[in-house]
Chain A
Amino acid sequence: MTLSGWVLPWVSALAAAIIAYGLYLAFFVAPPDYLQGEIARIMFVHVPSAWLAMGCYAVIAASSFGLLVFRHPLADVSAKAAAPIGAAFTFLALFTGSLWGKPAWGTYWVWDARLTSVLILFFLYLGLIALRSSIEDETLASKLTAILALVGIVMLPIIKFSVEWANTLHQPASVLKIGGPTIHPSILTPLLVMGAGFLVLFIALHLKAMRNEIMRRRVKALQLAEVARAQAGQVPAAAE
């Protein structure tokens, strides 16, 4: 905890700095899109959000694996802390995607492969949060949520594949293609910078959330110990 406490302010500052630089590049350096004009700049928030949305689920899946297989004590804290953050990034991706859609395609929503997959990813996050909050026993909740996260990570590629197969409206993935990205570097650089900034932001948020969760559990343990003491103390007190 002390290490993370020391590191956290630096990470947060770094995140802010990188994102600020990225935004500067996005708004002032990158050229406007020849078709869509200035509005396409929203891509610099939308695409990194989508990356983080998926990356966050991978973190949850890895943490869940760590919990179930290695019983690592921090694994559950990590998974629990990451879920709302991932849901937020997913929502941000959906929201910015929708804002982008109106001027670009004429409608706030369109059922293409990318947006649909992200929407389903959002539902998966909601499912994780809902399951955990509906089980009283925390140890049990962490195990069951871990199982659900692993089921989700197995199903996610299948869901994505099926949705893509069903229709193809969205532009094909132009950053991660075999043979290198096909985007012009003046667009690519701000995109990658924003991506890096969002990543550091996620690390900062995740660290903070994990620290909060650990402190919450400590408070709860102290309260439970108080209850146990009171119960033990009651019997001799009553006998007096």
Chain B
Amino acid sequence: MSAIWTLVARDLRLAVRQGGAVGTALGFYMIVVALLPLGLGPDLNLLSRIAPGILWIALLLSALLSLGRVFESDFEDGTLDILALGPLPLELVAGAKAFAHWVSTGIPLALLAPVLGILLNLDLEIYPALVATMLAGTPAVSFIGAVGAALTLRARRGGLLVALLVLPLYVPTLVFGVAAIGSLLGPEGFLAPFLMLIAISLGAVVLAPFAAAAALRAQMQ
């Protein structure tokens, strides 16, 4: 089992060394969130009402930026072949890499969200709920995204294609994520959507590696 942590540690180290990818995703997140008030007008009341949705959608788009590369570089330099020969089944390899993506990209994005909330005049009382829902929902983003990354390894126009394939699958996470935050603005409860969010993330963590590994196997032949 230490093989999993060896792999996760390696991926995290690579993410830090190739600082570009994480930094770019964070920068993209900032720019998109900043762009929206420019397009929608500076009405602070409006912005604070739609802030949860903006923060979630921009996060999904930013995560997509770095997702295509989850398996790509390992596939291209031949490392994936050797990872497949290790003691771990390919499903655990895929899961470990998706987990590393969540730690290196998902969590930073989730932690950046409240900072960007300032740009959108988000109510300060909502901040705990914001961070909690993003931390609960980003595992689904990383793991479902990993399936998309695995499917599009060898495809032309891979980056755009991942977005087309994966964004519809993000809808449940988006819906419950926004609802959980927005519940503090409205009458609905926080707990129900939050639990659904966690359920989807857990489901993704358990099931996505199977689909991703199947896709990887088909392309390693």
Contact = CB atoms under 8 A, between A and B. Distances in A.
Interface of A: 68, 120, 123-124, 126-127, 130-131, 134-135, 137, 140, 143-144, 147-148, 150-152, 154-155, 158-159, 161-163, 165-166
Contact of B179 (A137, A154, A166): A166
Nearest to A135: B155
B151 A144 contact: yes
B173 to A, nearest CB: 8
Contacts of B164: 123, 126-127, 130
Interface string B197-221: 0001000000100010011001101
A158 B165 contact: no
A78 to B, nearest CB: 19
B158 to A, nearest CB: 8
Contacts of A148: 151, 165
Given A144-B219, A151-B147, A158-B200, 9 more contacts: A130-B164, A130-B165, A135-B156, A147-B211, A152-B169, A155-B172, A159-B168, A165-B196, A166-B179
Contacts of A130: 161, 164-165
Interface residues of B, number: 28
Contacts of A124: 168
Q: Is the interface of A mostly helix, strand, loop or mixed?
A: helix
Interface string B131-164: 0000000000000000100011011111001001
B172 A159 contact: yes
Contacts of B147: 151
B175 interface: yes
A126 B157 CA distance: 15
A154 B167 contact: no
Given A131-B152, A131-B155, A150 B175 contact: no
Listed from nearest, the 3 A-B pairs whose CB atoms lie closest are A162-B172, A134-B155, A162-B175
A96 B211 CA distance: 35
